[in-house]
Structure 1
């Protein structure tokens, strides 16, 4: 018994050390960006790992970002695209997952395989075709083009995750609601969705980060001044010969805040969703 306890203790300790190391490795670049965004240009290059002091503290990067660029416009564009895409992905993904997991019809397996195929094939492989389609629809340099692409990109993963959680809901619960005369829409919105909130939060976090950080499709589909996103707007401070590192780090600091805020609000649901998915 003592040997088993010792081995379990060592295993748990090793796991904690590995997780702590991974956490430090993941958070170190973010902390480095935030720390240096509040320092002068000379202090950034002199000692990038040092914390800001009374001599090195500077807000010139934030001043340049807010004064010399349309950062609020870029931030608003990113926020609009991300929120709209998330709402559509979660709504359509949950409805499709409900249909695939609850109703058995001819071709349901083929349809599920089709959505799974969407996870395996990167959407960027179809960039040329997507660009031609957006040109024919006159959607180039519009936020609508980005929303359509991101919804198509996020739906397969959302459907697969949500359908797995929906299959774990007891059938007796749904049958009892039907016996009470509850319609299918009410069952879906009032019974099913509240029970899969951890899965919804997991999908939301995993979907938001790639959309918010994406540079590829904004650069191709919406490079105009009025439709640029935060990730694309940061590029104007990066030049071939001279790079304004104060502005770059300040804009990156402002850009990372929504992701951190969302994780703080949904962290508990996210952990529940991940652990539940691991057990299943």
Structure 2
């Protein structure tokens, strides 16, 4: 068997596996979108078929009557602020740990890495008591601080490697020009690690946007519910309006798709940078 034939067979097998994987992701998503246009009766009669008509009535009803606009606003607020805080704090910490040598440098970095080994959910009881004592239960501030803390370990781990691989000559040249430590960080280092920042932003956005556990534990007021907790309230004790549920799920997918389309190039660069180096 020639090398060219082996390469073609390998190429076909790889793309076949990728196609199957993509199909397992796309097909359920299409089912959710199509069912959002159907009535409950039509959903049960032909759950995998196309809707008889494309009406946005269920979206309007979910947005206005089912309080979904409040859940959407809460998710946007909590996710956006949490991701921004994670990006700022993790980039500053990773920059200092990667570019400066001082006593306890490795210990601090290893402490952050422990966050990757120990799931934060294991500490839910002391965390709940801590937020209670600080009067941060059922507040945006409390849940944002939890998300920020939970995202730092992974983010610092990713950004540390990128900061570490930046040539020292760039920093030395900036220092000779009179740039301060913060100016080097803000004007030189951050632009160079944009792929890593995009990777960190997308991963944290997905994790926070789809999280049900922490909002369910720490938020008790319905006007502060995020989308996952709000959608769970669509399930009634005796009956469920599936058309509204699927409409809500479809709306919740849109920001994730938009974010990925905007940052996809930087995200892919961030994932492949280590392989290229």
Task: Indicate the TM-score class for this superposition, using the shorter chain for normalisation.
Answer: over 0.9
In structure 1, what is the equivalent of residue 87 of structure 2?
Answer: 90
1:64 alignment partner, one of 38, 61, 65: 61
Structure 2 residue aligned with 1:175, among 169, 172, 175? 172
Q: Deviations over 1:64-84 (max 9, x none)?
A: 312322221111111010000
Please state if 1:118 is matched with 2:119: no
8 Å CA contact 1:40–1:60 kept in 2: the answer is no
1-structure distance, mates of 2:273, 2:52: 45
Change (3 A) 1:277 1:27: farther
5+ residue gaps, structure 1, are: none
Q: How many residues align?
A: 277
Mapped to 1, the partners of 2:41 and 2:274 lie a distance apart of 48
- Cα shift at 1:245: 0.4
Match of 2:260 among 254, 263, 276: 263
The alpha carbon displacement at 1:184 in A equals 1.1
Task: Give the C-alpha shift of residue 202 in structure 1.
Answer: 0.4
Q: Which residue number in structure 2 is paired with residue 22 of structure 1?
A: 21
Distance 2:156 2:43 in 1: 45
**Which TM-score applies when normalising by structure 2?**
0.96
CA displacement, residues 197-242 of structure 1 (integer Å, 9 cap, x when unaligned):
1100001111111100111111110121221111111122102321
Deviations 1:52-99 (A, max 9, x none): 233xx4434223312322221111111010000000000000000001
Q: Deviations over 1:163-188 (max 9, x none)?
A: 10111111111111111111111111
Question: How far apart are the structure 1 equivalents of 2:268 and 2:181?
Answer: 29
TM-score, reference length from structure 1: 0.95
Q: Which residue of 2 aligns with 1:43?
A: 42
CA–CA distance in structure 2, aligned partners of residues 106 and 248 of structure 1: 54
Matching residue of 1:215: 212
Q: CA deviation at 1:13?
A: 1.7
CA RMSD of superposed structures (Å): 1.3
Equivalent residues in 2 for 1:104-253 (5 A)? Answer: 104-253=101-250
Structure 2 unaligned blocks of 5 or more: none
For residue 105 of structure 1, give the secondary structure of its aligned residue in structure 2. coil
* Kept in 2: contact 1:71–1:230 (CA 8 A): yes
Q: Which whole-Å CA distance do the structure 2 matches of 1:107 and 1:16 have between them? A: 47
Contact 1:40 1:58 in 2 (8 A): no
